[in-house]
Amino acid sequence: MAATQKRRHAADAALTAVFSMISLAYVFPLAMVLMNSFKRKAYISRAPFALPSGSMFVGLDNYRNGIRLTDFWASMLWSLVITVLSVALILLCTSMCAWYISRVRNRVTHGIYLLCVFSMVVPFQMVMFTLSKVANVLGLNTPWTIPVIYLGFGAGLAVFLFTGYMKACPIAIEESATIDGCSPLRTFFSIVLPILQPTLISTGILQAMWIWNDYLLPYLVLDLKRFKTIPIAVQYLRGGYGSVDMGAMMGMLVLAIAPILLFYFLCQRYIVSGVMAGAVKG
């Protein structure tokens, strides 16, 4: 027994070592971008692994340039506005909708459910042209109104996740509340919503990841002359007629990634468990 114990210890130590190496390899690309963001742009392609020393070092020039070229802070603001508003709207509306269709069972609600499931698999390219048209006609082309589009296109997954969770929830508490004279609205907000909390968090995180990183939808729908999101700003750097300013690009990549990592490390537990929950339900 002691021998196997020992062997197991040795194996674990070896695994720790191997995984440390792999983890380093995983983090390496990020470190490299960070390093190159301080390098004069002409040297990024020539000496990608060199430390930004001597004449290669440009301090924060790349950041300054990139921010100026892309209007980065504004993009970040709009990304935040769009993500926060959309996720809030999606969570509120779809959880209500999901409760309704899982408690009121008839052909219509079943139809809605099936359509939601169907919409989950339809690729965006199918609706990209017509959706951007519709959005324009209805004035859904600002960060304040685009959440309606996200609610529409993201409803499928959210409704699916919520109904999945609600099917497993006991209906008894809700019924007793109704008998006590609670209106459905009151029942929903004081009883159902708290029960839904884990799914709210996991759905919220999945939707936030999607919306924050989404490129094509806002690119086609948003009024670009006033609003850009971070992915649009980054892709826009492939500009300057005939060039990609790699220095500014590196700086903007760092600025685009930093807040995500911060967010990740702050609420890692929720994100990981959110993904797990989402997957099990999926």
* Residue of 56, 80, 169, 191 that binds other proteins (CB under 8 A): 80
What does the angle CA 200 – CA 204 – CA 210 come to, to the nearest 5 degrees?
155
Q: Which of residues 200-219 bind other proteins (CB under 8 A)?
A: 201, 209, 212-216, 219
Residue 54: which residues within 8 A CB-CB, separation 6 or more?
none
List binders of other proteins among 28-57 (CB under 8 A). Answer: 29-30, 32-33, 36, 41-42, 44-46, 48-49
Closer to other proteins by Cβ: residue 168 or 241: 241
Q: Residue holding tokens 């440009």?
A: 58
Q: Which of 7, 13, 186, 190 binds other proteins (CB under 8 A)?
A: 13
Q: How far is the CB of 85 from other proteins (least distance, A)?
A: 11
Neighbours of 57 (CB within 10 A): 13
The distance of closest approach from Cβ of residue 247 to other proteins in the complex, given in angstroms and rounded to an integer, is 9
d(CA 29, CA 23) in angstroms, rounded, equals 11
Q: Work out whether 185 is an interface residue with other proteins (CB under 8 A).
A: yes
* Candidate residues 7, 57, 60, 105; the one interacting with other proteins per rule CB under 8 A: 105
**Using the rule CB under 8 A, is 189 a contact of other proteins?**
no
- Angle among Cα 16, 19, 23 to the nearest 5 degrees reads 135
Minimal distance, residue 143 CB to other proteins, in Å? 12
8 A C-beta contact, residue 263 and residue 83: no
Name which position in 116, 157, 161, 196 contacts other proteins (CB under 8 A). Answer: 116
Does 145 bind other proteins (CB under 8 A)? Our answer is no
Q: Is 198 in the site for other proteins (CB under 8 A)?
A: no
Residue 87 binds other proteins (CB under 8 A) = no
> Binding other proteins by CB under 8 A: which of 1, 2, 5, 123?
123
Q: How far apart are CA 100 and CA 185, in angstroms?
A: 11
Q: Is 10 in the site for other proteins (CB under 8 A)?
A: no
- Neighbouring residues of 193: CB distance < 8 A, sequence distance ≥ 6: 95, 200
263-282: which residues touch other proteins (CB under 8 A)? 263-272, 275-276, 279-280, 282
> Which amino acid is it at 243?
S
Q: Which two tokens stand for residue 164?
A: 């999945």
# chain residues binding other proteins, by CB under 8 A: 138
Least gap, CB of 12 to other proteins (angstroms): 4
Site string for other proteins, 146-165 (x = CB under 8 A): --xxxxxxxxx--x------
CB of 170 to other proteins, least distance (A): 13
Residue 96, Cα to own-chain centre: how many angstroms? 22
Window 229 to 248, contacts with other proteins (CB under 8 A): 230-231, 234-246
Selected binder of other proteins within 121, 168, 170, 180 (CB under 8 A): 121
